[in-house]
Structure 1
Amino acid sequence: MAEIRIRNTDERIQGEENVRAFLESQEVLYEHWNPSKLREELQEKFVLSDEEKQEVLNTFDEEIRDLAARRGYRTWDVITLSEATPNLEELLAKFENVHTHTEDEVRAITAGKGIFIIKGSDDVGYFDVELTAGDVISVPENKPHFFTLMENKQIVAVRLFIEPEGWIAHPHNDPNFQK
């Protein structure tokens, strides 16, 4: 279940309804899907064949299509990252810079853990959203953020896009941001 850490105060927000309410106040969509729908062997597997990625999409097809219909997403895929990912550290270094997009950045975590660092309202500042299997988040277009892995460096996630070629990151230089 997602947990939030507000960086300025180190305050933690826990519990699905509290997390949802806080993120809603920051214009970030949060939902929770049932991760146990996924075949048990895939719940902790982080290197997937194309057939297994399709199985993930098929398992959550109803949820994906519902979210896509509500939010205008037209395409989706599965991303897997783990120690087995070639050039993982270089890839993460590229992710770990604050940026924006001209469309939402959506992740539905089906296995593992990840973290979004998001710029909130002026009174909140930056906050971390720690995500685990079942957590679904949509960071709105033009909201400064970045996504990275947590200490286990393993994740499987469904990504949804409006544009078929996916989102493009636009650097956001913020002197107030501290890693």
Structure 2
Amino acid sequence: MATIRIRNTNERIEGNERVGDFLGSLGVLYEHWDIEKLPDRLREKCQLSAEEQAEILSVFEPEIQSLAERRGYVKWDMVTLSEATPNLEELLKKFEQVHTHTEDEVRAIAAGNGIFIIKGPEEIGYFDVELTAGDVISVPENTPHFFTLREDKQVVAIRLFIDPAGWVAHPFADPAFQK
């Protein structure tokens, strides 16, 4: 279940409905998929073979198709990150830069967890969306944000794209952002 922490006030928003309402008011899509659909052996596993990745995509095919039809996504894949990922720390440093995209950035968490740091309107400022298995988020195009891992440094996420070439990050220099 996702949790939001507003950085300026340290206020926390919890519960799928409250999180969905808050994010929806800012144009960010939030859904929660039933993670119980996955076989037990894949629910907590963050180091996956190509066959296991294909199995997860197959299990969530109806949800992926529904989201793709509603939002215009035409391609999807999976990213897996864990302590076993080569050069994980360098990769995370690259992720942990505020940026924008010319299309939505979508993540459906199948295992592990992660955090989207998103810039809200001035009265809210930056906020963290802490995601766990089953959480799905779509950060709208041109919204300053970045995605990173939590302390355990492991995630399996389905990514959806409008442009079949995938997305390109555009750096967003913001003096208001503080890690």
Would you call these one fold, judging by a TM-score over 0.5? yes
Task: Supply the AA of the counterpart residue of 1:66.
Answer: S
- The equivalences for 1:127-146 within 5 A come to 127-146=127-146
Task: Supply the AA of the counterpart residue of 2:68.
Answer: A
Q: Given the two structures, how large is their TM-score scaled by the length of structure 2? A: 0.99
Deviation at 1:44, TM superposition (A): 1.1
Q: Name 1:8's counterpart in structure 2.
A: 8
CA distance in 2: counterparts of 1:162 and 1:131, whole angstroms: 22
Q: Name 1:55's counterpart in structure 2.
A: 55
Task: Supply the AA of the counterpart residue of 2:72.
Answer: G
CA distance in 2: counterparts of 1:44 and 1:20, whole angstroms: 24
* 1:121-145 Cα deviation digits (max 9, x unpaired): 1110000000000000000000000
CA distance in 2: counterparts of 1:50 and 1:74, whole angstroms: 21
Deviation at 1:32, TM superposition (A): 0.3
Q: Name 1:81's counterpart in structure 2.
A: 81
- The equivalences for 1:2-151 within 5 A come to 2-151=2-151
Deviation at 1:47, TM superposition (A): 1.0
| Gaps in structure 1 of 5+ consecutive residues | none
- The equivalences for 1:145-164 within 5 A come to 145-164=145-164
Following superposition, which runs of at least 4 residues in structure 1 exceed 2 angstroms of deviation?
none
Q: Given the two structures, how large is their TM-score scaled by the length of structure 1? A: 0.99
Report how many aligned residue pairs link the two structures: 179
CA distance in 2: counterparts of 1:8 and 1:25, whole angstroms: 18
CA distance in 1: counterparts of 2:159 and 2:42, whole angstroms: 17
| Gaps in structure 2 of 5+ consecutive residues | none
CA distance in 2: counterparts of 1:143 and 1:108, whole angstroms: 18
Q: Name 1:178's counterpart in structure 2.
A: 178
Identical positions, percent: 70
Deviation at 1:150, TM superposition (A): 0.2
Look up the SS of the partner of 2:18 in the other structure.
Answer: helix
